[in-house]
């Protein structure tokens, strides 16, 4: 499986620990983030192959995958939450695509099919008010069984489907 925009590696390492039989690949374009992810994987004994670069550009010979997941930057550039609370201390490029918040999600959804095995699945995290738009983007990209999953507050925060 592939984790795009792995950051500290939380998703990729968790999957690697839960499924030691899986081949887990994770990418990020931030060298600093990958340094943290590699240290976390080492400390937690999670077997993950890390790749540096932008989204699918890094995948020479690694695709196709059974599963692609991503928690990409999805906050709109003018969202007031960027100036509030703990997110003020996060790198802005980890939080916002610098536009509507849907641009990186669209790149990831559009590019996934070429990197998935038949019946492979794509799941993405998104903002509290983006679930309907993301489901629509997935359907337009040809995904079936499209659905969303709720977080602990009952808000749809992850959407995906089967290609
Ligand atoms: C919201 S953070 C998510 C981090 C981690 N996946 C998590 O769930 O905690 C988004 C990540 O996407 C990375 N990112 C942003 N643009 C990227 C790009 N074009 N290619 C690859 N990674 C990118 C950022 O460096 C950041 O680590």
Query: pTM here?
Result: 0.96
Among 32, 89, 94, 123, say which to mutate for ligand 1: greatest number of ligand atoms within 8 Å of CB.
94
pLDDT at residue 61 greater than cutoff 90: no
Q: Rounded distance, CA 58 to CA 149, Å?
A: 29
Query: In whole angstroms, how far apart are CA 158 and each of 72, 76, 90, 112, 122?
Result: 11, 17, 21, 16, 10
pLDDT, averaged across the chain: 96
Count, residues in the chain: 163
Tokens of 12: 């990729």
* Distance from residue 5's CA to the centre of ligand 1 (Å): 3
User: Which of 3, 26, 28 should be mutated for ligand 1, with most atoms under 8 A from CB?
Assistant: 28
H/E element, 24? strand 24-28
Determine whether the shortest distance from the Cβ of 124 to ligand 1 is under 6 A.
no
- Structural domain boundaries of the chain? 1-47, 63-162
Atom 19, ligand 1: residue with shortest CA distance? 54
Q: Is the pLDDT at 90 greater than 90, yes or no?
A: no
> What Cα–Cα distance (Å) separates residue 120 from each residue in 9, 46, 131?
22, 23, 20
The CATH label, of 3.30.70.270, 3.40.50.150, 3.20.20.100, 2.60.40.10, for the domain at 63-162 is: 3.40.50.150
């Amino acid at each position: 499986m592939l984790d795009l925009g792995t950051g500290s590696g939380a998703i990729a390492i968790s999957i690697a620990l839960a499924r030691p039989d899986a081949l887990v690949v994770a990418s990020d374009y931030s060298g600093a983030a990958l340094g943290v992810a590699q240290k976390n994987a080492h400390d937690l004994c999670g077997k993950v192959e890390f790749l540096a670069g932008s989204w699918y550009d890094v995948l020479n010979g690694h695709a196709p995958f059974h599963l692609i997941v991503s928690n990409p930057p999805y906050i709109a550039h003018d969202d007031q939450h960027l100036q509030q609370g703990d997110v003020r201390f996060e790198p802005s490029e980890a939080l916002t695509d610098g536009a509507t918040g849907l641009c990186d999600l669209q790149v990831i959804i559009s590019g996934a099919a070429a990197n998935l095995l038949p019946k492979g699945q794509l799941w993405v995290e998104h903002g509290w008010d983006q679930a309907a738009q993301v489901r629509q983007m997935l359907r337009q990209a040809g995904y079936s069984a499209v659905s969303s999953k709720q977080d602990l507050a009952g808000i749809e925060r992850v959407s995906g489907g089967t290609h």
